[in-house]
């Protein structure tokens, strides 16, 4: 079958490589110069340097050509591009099964990705999310990885789980979209906190405590929104949280490390050169927690650090000053 992948960043390129072979894959990027360089060099030097792109992997900047004739549309843009991409696909080839690999909450609306898709396509659209602990560089190099395909549609899972499952990219099914997406969103916020923790030299004990209490925050919000606790304990929750909080390839963790060094957010994002979804998500998580009266002190501290002028040391003092309570 033919899979069209929209977004040629690190993760989009890695997924295109993972599904290439058993399937015909076309990888789209909006920048013609980047696509031309990738065709010429057979490498995505900006996002995945050193990883060869096979000659049979199709590369294009023609959105309509990529969309037409595809059996599956796979959106791997930053979350900010999800809504517009869904709209464009609906205009070109409606009712095509859709999977997205975006994580976070939409800036301004606080919508989860599946809520954005439902607003654009309706609640009965055949769709789902790929999420879980996965660094693009490792997937692109064929290292073993396990992620989740979450969808409310059992028929969709039955159709696409065996099609997407690969020997070294193992995919597990889940019908809890809310839990899967909350895990994928908030783990980026926690990774910023973990980076600050390590950057301040607080030690491994403190990082373990942060990850554990971060998982508790994810679970509280997921359940408040209708998700299931067991999802938070799986790949899309705990698995993704551990990876992103401890792995040096994590962009969000690097943001936290730089904040601990006293760098400004603008300078950090400029040096990073890629989207760190936890930055915008932190504000939306804090607002969502307030609306649902869910206690999320770590998320609130990260929001204050990023967007309300709090320093890393002040954020730490605020957390350490909290009253003792039952776990």
pLDDT of residue 321: 82
**Helix 297-307, helix 312-320: angle, nearest 10:** 160
In CATH terms, 179-320 corresponds, of 3.40.190.10, 1.10.357.10, 3.50.50.60, 1.10.1040.10, to 1.10.1040.10
**Secondary structure (DSSP) of 125-166:** S-EEEEESS--HHHHHTT--EEEEEE-S-HHHHHHHHHHH--
pLDDT of residue 176: 98
User: In the annotation, is 187 catalytic?
Assistant: yes
| pLDDT of 323 over the 80 cut | no
- Are the beta carbons of 26 and 70 closer than 8 angstroms? yes
pTM, full prediction: 0.94
- Chain-centroid distance, C-alpha 275: 10
pLDDT of residue 320: 84
Distances (CA, A) of 309 to 194, 197, 312, 318, 319: 19, 18, 10, 14, 16
Q: Is 74 exposed, middle or buried, given 0-12, 13-18 or 19+ CB atoms closer than 10 A?
A: buried
| Tokens at 60, concatenated | 């294009």
Residue in 103, 187, 263, 325 annotated catalytic: 187
- pLDDT band at residue 150, thresholds of 50, 70 and 90? very high
pLDDT tens track for 262-321: 999 999 999 988 788 899 999 999 999 999 999 999 999 999 999 998 898 998 888 888
First CA to last CA across the chain, in angstroms? Answer: 49
Query: Which of 244, 249, 231 lies closest to 183, judged by CA?
Result: 231
- Are the beta carbons of 304 and 236 closer than 8 angstroms? no
6: which DSSP letter?
A: E
DSSP β-bridge partners for residue 2: 24
Query: Which of 304, 302, 307, 311 lies closest to 266, judged by CA?
Result: 307
In CATH, what number does 2-175 get? 3.40.50.720
Average pLDDT over residues 31-54: 96
Domain boundaries, the chain: 2-175, 179-320
Query: Which of 305, 295, 110 lies closest to 213, judged by CA?
Result: 295
The Cα–Cα gap between 46 and 229 comes to: 38
| pLDDT of 326 over the 90 cut | no
Strands (E), the chain: 2-6, 24-28, 43-44, 48-52, 58-60, 72-75, 98-100, 127-131, 145-150, 169-174
Query: Which of 61, 102, 65, 75 lies closest to 16, judged by CA?
Result: 75
């Amino acid at each position: 079958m033919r899979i069209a992948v929209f977004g040629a960043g690190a993760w989009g390129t890695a997924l295109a490589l993972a599904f290439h072979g058993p399937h015909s894959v076309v990888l789209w990027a909006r920048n013609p110069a980047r696509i031309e360089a990738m065709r010429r060099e057979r490498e995505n030097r900006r996002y995945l340097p050193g990883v060869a792109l096979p000659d049979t992997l199709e590369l294009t900047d023609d959105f309509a050509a990529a969309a037409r004739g595809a059996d599956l549309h796979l959106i791997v843009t930053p979350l900010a591009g999800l809504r517009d991409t869904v709209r464009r696909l609906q205009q070109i080839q409606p009712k095509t099964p859709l999977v997205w690999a975006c994580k976070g909450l939409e800036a301004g609306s606080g919508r989860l990705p599946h809520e954005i898709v439902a607003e654009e396509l309706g609640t009965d659209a055949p769709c789902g999310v790929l999420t879980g602990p996965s660094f693009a560089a490792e997937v692109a190099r064929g290292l073993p990885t396990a992620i989740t395909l979450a969808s409310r549609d059992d028929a969709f899972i039955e159709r696409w789980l065996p099609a997407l499952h690969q020997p070294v990219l193992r995919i597990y099914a889940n019908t809890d979209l809310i839990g899967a997406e909350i895990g994928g969103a908030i783990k980026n916020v926690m990774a910023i906190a973990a980076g600050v923790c390590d950057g301040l030299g607080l030690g491994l004990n403190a990082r373990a405590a942060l990850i554990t209490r971060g998982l508790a925050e994810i679970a509280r919000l997921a359940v408040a929104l209708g998700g299931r606790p067991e999802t938070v304990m799986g790949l899309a929750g705990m698995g993704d949280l551990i990876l992103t909080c401890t792995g040096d390839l994590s962009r969000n963790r690097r943001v936290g490390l730089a904040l601990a060094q006293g760098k400004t957010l603008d300078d950090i994002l400029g040096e990073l050169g890629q989207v760190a979804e936890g930055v915008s998500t932190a504000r939306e998580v804090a607002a969502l927690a307030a609306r649902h009266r869910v206690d999320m002190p770590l998320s609130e501290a990260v929001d204050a650090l990023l967007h309300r002028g709090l320093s890393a040391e002040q954020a730490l003092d605020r957390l350490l000053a909290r009253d003792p309570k039952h776990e």
